[in-house]
Amino acid sequence: MLYRTLLLLVTALFLSAGVFATDDEADYGHIAGKVKTTDGKPVAGVSVSLKGTRKMSVTQENGGFSLKHIKPGSYELEVSFLGYDRQVQAVTVTANETAEVSVTLNVSSVNLKEYTVTDVRNPYKTAANSSSLRLNGLLIEQPQNIQVVTGKVLADQQITSMSDGIIRNVSGVTKLEHWGDLYARINMRGARASAFRNGMNITSTWGPLTEDMSFVEQVEFVKGPAGFMMSNGEPSGIYNVVTKKPTGITKGEAVLTLGSYDMYRATLDLDGKLNKEGSLLYRFNLMGQSKNSFRDYEFNKRFSIAPVVSYKIDDQTTLTLEYVLQHVNMFDAGSYYVFHPDGYAKLPREFTTAEPGLDPTKITDHSVQVNLQHNFSPSWKLTAQAAYFNYRQEGTTLWPNEVRPDGKMIRSVGIWDAANESRFGQVYLNGEVHTGGVRHRILAGLDLGTKHYMADWSQAHALDSNNAEFDVNNPVYGAPVNGLPVFDRSKSLSERAGSTIIDQSYTGVYVQDELGFFNDALRVTLAGRYTYVKENSYGTKVDDNRFTPRFGLSYSIDKSTSVYALYDQTFVPQTGLLRNQEKPKPIVGNNLEAGVKKDWFDGKWNTTLSAYRIIKNNELTPDPANQGNENFSLQLGQTKAEGVEFDVRGEIVSGLSLVANYAFTNSVITRTSDKNPPHGSEVGAAVPGFAKHTANAWLHYKLANGALKGFGISGGFTYLADRSTWSWGGVGQQQMPDYFKLDGGLFWQKDRISINANVFNILDKYLYSGSSYETYYYWQAEPGRNMRLSIGYKF
């Protein structure tokens, strides 16, 4: 009944353009236009505002913008963009008509030849999210904490993949373990954040494969439940990787990077037109990389190919086809771990349990995405997209069978072959209508997905044996007593996987209406989502559905300041093995959030301050009472995560850009379903997987004049305090120490050439993350002082 009701509501909203158009609509007009440079190139990211009103917009990649529902009269249109002269242009709005406007930004032809238009955007701040988040309007208007890490930040910090330092740019975000760059396990607000790419939830148990930043435009972090995005997922939030698309501007860039531990990396980014009319565009990104490690025997070789073609069928319709291939050839991911019975960091930073001669782990990851956008009118747009992801892995994982009190151990290598196949389909409608003095910003859509993961962990080979153990105090490599493993892969992976299979399919239908009152100064969001999920995990089946509401409130105190409040819900079906043999209940979570957003100095930089409380019922965690090979889960009654987050980003003064943040996070058990819970799972105990205090900063200063013009300096730090471990700790077990990492570098840019050099972990600290495990500790060390040097050329 609920499903039928919601479908009727969606249908009504699709027809609302006609229903909501009252006679009052004839009393208003619209403005539509494009912004270009003096040589006719479109400019994206330009701020456009109507003086004397709250009407604002940001230009798209084609330079287009629109301002709707304006009372007839004469106005001044103000266009501002970093690096260009501000433009003020008169415009007359007539009732029931759209005024067409063309604005030209004044930049000298010399500068246009030396730099692409993206070089003069605000490099560390953006005013709007990507279209893949499905939300219209500016970020400052959204009733939620959304942080965007721009491509310029990625380049300045020399971030190469999703697991390579990107989290320093967002408050409260931490990363658990490293997994050999296989995938990024990112946590925020006390739980794992769901991984999205271009608006699709591609999260899997051991994935997705970390995206290489060579084909990434920006990464968007949405804090808390995202009812407009997620069918099912943790209420902590999501991160959305937005890939590069054609811009219609003919340009290119090649970058060569050299670094410590034999790092060699080259990238190529080509962007342009395939026909004179500009209706057929392309983007092509290519990357190749080889690097070793501060630990012996480890290596990582990667390449990626990412072509995109976009075809403008007509003035209203655009079709985009995108393909991404990533391939990895790397050493066993288990070699990142070090083990000791007495505590953390008891062995040198470069110590390894790895054995030379092990076969490499090889991964091939394909994805294909098709996106169709059609504008019915300046106010209504339909987006349909489909995607196919295919991941194949053949490799091993190194883990000890036993760690003894004297530090001697028996190492074991297990097979880890895996396949991950996913399909997604989405259709959503964005629209804007007015009923009297109320503006309705409509979002409605359908979200479908199927995921299939299987793995073979059925074979293992002990490298060592009793009386011939591996001694961490006197390690010997190259001649394990039992020799190297030879695994049987004669059968197909599906035959070998057995019950190690995770299947999930979901259907989501969602409706959202953002109502604007008092000339859009007050915005009220009313939304709901119905989700149906089927999952078969390790032989345990789940079939569940839920309706989750969403309520938001945002108020603009003035043009540059807004306050907001949000209530949102989510649910996550769960599978696992409980000691009482009962079927696990789904997670039901809700988020209460409030915050203040402010743009400073004409939007050159902005701040976000937010406070939240997330309640989760029925969360599953590993049972701290597990012994040996037991794999039971514990279903908690209720957990609460709460905290405060602060972010600042943008150009503080001319030439000085900053990204800085701080977060206080606390996640504890507030109710238990067990009368005698094991130690570590009682009321008041911390839920593992967060740092109570996190603080980050990154400064980037560039000289604009004088003999050293183009020269600059950058630097930043990461600080984590009161860190919890990956999993539960036993009685009297050690906690991880506080974490402090200092990085910095120099750069120089002139005309088409740029040079960027960074030194990481300048203080050469012994940094690591880890946890206790049964009768021993494990940790993963980070490199000591190391550097990267990049040389880029734009053409």
pLDDT bin (cut points 50, 70, 90) of residue 760 is very high
Give the pLDDT score at 66. Answer: 83
Mean pLDDT of 263-278: 95
* pLDDT of amino acid 256: 98
Flag whether pLDDT at 117 surpasses 90: no
Does residue 645 sit in helix, strand or coil? strand
Tell me the pLDDT tens digit for each residue of 600-642: 988 899 999 999 999 988 877 767 666 655 667 777 788 899 9
Q: Which pairing describes strands 98-105 and 29-37: parallel, antiparallel, or unpaired?
A: parallel
Predicted pLDDT at 373: 96
> Region 461-486: what's the mean pLDDT?
95
C-alpha–C-alpha distance, residues 742 and 138, integer Å: 34
Give the single-character DSSP code of 629.
T
Q: Looking at residues 730-755, what average pLDDT do you find? A: 89
Residues 502-506 have a mean pLDDT of 92
Asked whether the beta carbons of 641 and 687 are under 8 A apart, the reply is: yes
Q: What is the pLDDT of residue 731?
A: 55
Summarize pLDDT for 694-703 with one digit per residue, the tens. 999 999 999 9
196 vs 199: CA distance, rounded Å: 6
Give Cβ neighbours of residue 336 (< 8 Å, ≥ 6 apart): 177, 178, 179, 180, 295, 298, 780
- Distance, in Å, from the CA atom of 584 to the CA atom of 596, rounded to the nearest integer, reads 38
Cα within 13 Å of Cα(89), Cβ side: 20
* 3-state helix, strand and coil shares in percent for the chain, rounded to the nearest 5: 10, 55, 35
Decide if 732 contacts 765 (C-beta within 8 A): no
* pLDDT (tens digit per residue) in 15-52: 444 444 444 445 788 888 888 877 677 777 787 888 87
Q: What pLDDT score does 318 carry?
A: 96
Give the chain's domains with CATH numbers.
20-111 (2.60.40.1120), 251-794 (2.40.170.20)
Q: Which of left, alpha, beta for 229 (phi over 0: left; psi -120 to 50: alpha)?
A: alpha
337 Cβ neighbours under 8 A, 6+ residues apart: 353, 398, 399, 778, 779, 780
Query: Over 50: is that where the pLDDT of 1 sits?
Result: no
**What's residue 83's pLDDT?**
61
User: At residue 335, does pLDDT exceed 80?
Assistant: yes
- The helices-and-strands tally (H runs, E runs) of the chain is 5, 46
3-state secondary structure of 440: strand
- Per the model's pLDDT, the better-predicted residue between 576 and 136 turns out to be 136
Q: Identify which has the larger pLDDT, 36 or 149.
A: 149
The rounded mean pLDDT for the chain is 88
DSSP structural state of residue 161: B
- The region of weakest confidence among 259-268, 298-307, 393-402, 539-548 is 539-548
- What's 213-239 look like in SS3? HHHEEEEEEEECCCCCCCCCCCCCEEE
Q: What is the pLDDT of residue 105?
A: 83
Between 227-231, 359-363, 790-794, the lowest mean confidence (pLDDT) is in: 227-231
Reported residue count of the chain is 795
pLDDT score of 552 = 97
Tokens for 59, please give them: 């230009």
Instruction: Tell whether the model's pLDDT for residue 398 goes beyond 90.
Output: yes
Lowest mean pLDDT among 297-301, 540-544, 667-671: 540-544
Annotate 322-373 with DSSP letters as a single string: EEEEEEEEE--GGGGEEEESS-TT-S-TT-----TTPPPEEEEEEEEEEEEE
Asked whether residue 115 carries a pLDDT value surpassing 70, the answer given is no
Report the distance separating Cα 8 and Cα 529, nearest Å. 13
Can you read off the two tokens belonging to residue 55?
């009407």
User: In Å, what is the CA distance from 263 to each residue of 103, 152, 370?
Assistant: 46, 22, 34
Pick from 667, 766, 664, 657: nearest CA to 716 = 657
CB 587 within 8 A of CB 608: no
pLDDT of residue 678: 65
Burial class (CB in 10 A: 0-12, 13-18, 19+), 56: buried
Alpha carbons 283 and 13: distance in angstroms, whole number: 36
